[in-house]
Structure 1
């Protein structure tokens, strides 16, 4: 069944885990004056929560999705989360080039889910 908990929860958890990971990887760019060591330690702490969500998401999801599908989902989710993060946290603009590039990646990813 497409909307079973085993199919939906991994997607929800991967969105949440990507939120944490995006902050861990890029959040410090808004605070470039802080020491790099502090950025590393804080990022590592944030990444812990990403792992607490990503690992069970993949474990639960493996009952419904192949590992290639899980990885592809994660990559597309990463682009979605990163796009919002870039706009709302870093104050960057996304251009048509970004939109077209991300759309092409999503189109390519859709082939992983074809039977």
Structure 2
């Protein structure tokens, strides 16, 4: 399937968002199930991570012509922070404090330099 070139960056970013949702659940979702044996949560996390890879790899392959590898990684990191912030509040019930917001904003500000021409 070939996408129109104008859609490529949007689809790549959408795939990165989806992959980060899966990866955040793979890495942190088990924290609500502390009674589960470690080997069970490791296997479950691997299973969830498979779907993350099914989105991440195409996102990087598709996006690499439009974005540099450094830009793709930077997008992924900013998306990770946004997804994690929502996940932390919604799934884990952990409120974000002002210092988290400031720290995330500083990271996003630093990420902006990657895209500076």
TM over 0.5: yes
Runs of at least 5 residues in structure 2 that lack an aligned partner in the other structure: none
Q: 1:108, 1:41 → 2: CA distance?
A: 35
- Equivalences, count: 113
Runs of 4+ residues deviating >4 angstroms:
none
User: Are 2:91 and 1:89 aligned?
Assistant: yes
Q: Which residue of 1 aligns with 2:21?
A: 19
Tell me the TM-score normalised to structure 1 length.
Answer: 0.97
Q: Which residue of 1 aligns with 2:54?
A: 52
Tell me the TM-score normalised to structure 2 length.
Answer: 0.95
Q: 2:62, 2:116 → 1: CA distance?
A: 21
The secondary structure found in structure 2 opposite 1:84 is helix
Q: 2:31, 2:52 → 1: CA distance?
A: 19
The secondary structure found in structure 1 opposite 2:54 is helix
Post-superposition Cα deviations, 1:16-64, rounded to whole Å, max 9, x if no partner, equal 0000000000000000000000000000000000000000000000010
Residue 75 (structure 1) shift:
0.2
Q: CA RMSD in A?
A: 0.9
Runs of at least 5 residues in structure 1 that lack an aligned partner in the other structure: none
Q: 2:14, 2:114 → 1: CA distance?
A: 19
Q: 1:65, 1:105 → 2: CA distance?
A: 19
